[in-house]
A and B are shown apart, each in its own frame.
Chain A
Amino acid sequence: MTTELSTSLPTDHSRAVADGAHSHGLVPEASRAARLTSFDPADFPVPTGREEEWRFSPMDRLAPLFDAAGEGLREGGVQVTVVNPPEVGVEIVGRDDPRLGSVGRPGDRTAVTAWHGFTDATIVTVPPQTVASSATSVRVEGLDRTGEPTAAHLMVHAGELSEAVVVIDHVGAATLTETVEIQADDGAHLTVVSIQDWEPGSVHAAAHRLSVGRDATVKHVVVTLGGDVVRITPDAGFTGEGGDVQALGLYFADADQHQEHRLFIDHNQPSCRSRVTYKGALQGDGARTVWVGDVLIQAHAEGTDTYELNRNLVLTDGARADSVPNLEIETGEIEGAGHASATGRFDDEQLFYLMSRGVHEIDARRLVVRGFFAELIGQVGVPEVEERLLAAIEDELAASMAALEGER
């Protein structure tokens, strides 16, 4: 299947063609390479829930973001505040800014409604050769408790050989569909952390699109804690050889939360590397997580080195984790390709071992859960974020421990 760029918008998307999804002649229908990407809403009818990419999702709760009536989404449901070091540029631009939309195209209904729903976008730019002296903080605060859908668009652009850390924080209450474009030019070292810590009642869909330049390194970290429904779809592709993507994810779902992370790493250039590590814990009735990791190694992507891992720790009855790794390999000339996925119950043997040394049950559980996430958190490499993650896990555990105490 060939994907055509068809948009009526007065925007220059020529680079989107160069950087975006490629067309293939001989791939099976189910191949990730055949998945449509487009700026045209007509290409993504309102999903029914039977589609591959929506089959795990709570369609009723996401419905407001589908904009079934085609009226467009409301403005101003979120407020974006950026705190940046002096070397890093921040602009608020209109939707006709030619840079927007240059990192790939929407891949599903909520991504296309996000693209058509915003008026102003925020662009964070790290100039070439520049090393940011501190992390840039982007705060996306939801101001809406009425459930009215809104859209937002962010772009992070790291110039050649630059180095920067950008932390995007989603807080408050919102019903939001969002695009995050991440472009790392040749030789850049960029870390982008996106934290979803919404208030209850919030619904959030986000399409993260990453473009990784020659010899560039991008660390993409997703942390999902709060919000009724959060569905994040990070898509990464390369524009030159030697690119490196490390995708890290940590999520903690409580009762009735739905947290879905669908990744796609497109090895569309030779000699690139990708590492995906997502770990989640679930507790409480109706806690639900979905992880899908698609990796495509295209025929000409020789020397690819990829590995993806997902682990889930189910702390209580009534919670459910789905984990679906997919690896498509179109060339045998690769460095390595693998995946691992496991979902386990809380290990009572570990609990017994710790308790048999006198450790109280509550502390033993804490140790095990902290231990489950410890290595992942250590890989984030941003001390402020690491501390926040540890604290967030403590908070989550405090809630479940209170429930445990109550049972006594």
Chain B
Amino acid sequence: MSREFGELILDLQNVSLAFGGVKALTDISFDVREHEIRAIIGPNGAGKSSMLNVINGVYRPQQGEIILRGQHFTRMNPYKAACAGISRTFQNIALFKGMSVIDNLMTGRNLKIRSNLLQQAFWWGPARREELAHRARVEEVIDFLEIQHIRKTPVGRLPYGLQKRVDLGRALAMEPSILLLDEPMAGMNVEEKQDMCRFILDVNDQFGTTIVLIEHDMGVVMDISDRVVVLDYGRKIGDGVPDAVRTNPEVISAYLGASH
């Protein structure tokens, strides 16, 4: 696969993150270009999720900088990241369990809602029309992900594979420019994985969304990503197009040595 990439949209420079004595990330630099699918791989505990968490500010690195569209951040936080167009899914699905699929997706529209609390409370006409407009956008996401049949179901009752899909839906409802996906296909069967791959490629293609993806399934990663970064024990040991990474001796030994 060879495609044209856009500008540098996200750039991490010399990021280090530790939890007490545990070094989750050590001096990591990596960049993401507009419109690409950028994969992060590595054995368990390599620091992949930590990396996503640093990007959207869930974790604050002790060192390093995040440069987002030319703007420098030493302290990112999840709210700021969301405002800047970064949305994400979580490894251990963090949906709002008690709420229906539609409501979960509607929360993704929160930043786009203009009416204020009073206007909503009094069921003011324009506030209501705005709500309907957002609802229409959410229905589009529902159609896109082919989850029409479960739109009213409380997400806590859905099987794991569908929850993963709703999680993606909530992130998409934000209309992000950068989408961070933490193992979107973990625990899925082959068919579900194929669907998920298709959705990811379609999002990237149709909406031009830049995607940062953590995935364990090598077949999938090599198939759909444009560039791959490899972590091991919090260090970067490889970075490049899939073919280059596949033949990188350090990467091969990390994977052969790791129990997974």
Q: Do A and B come from one complex?
A: no
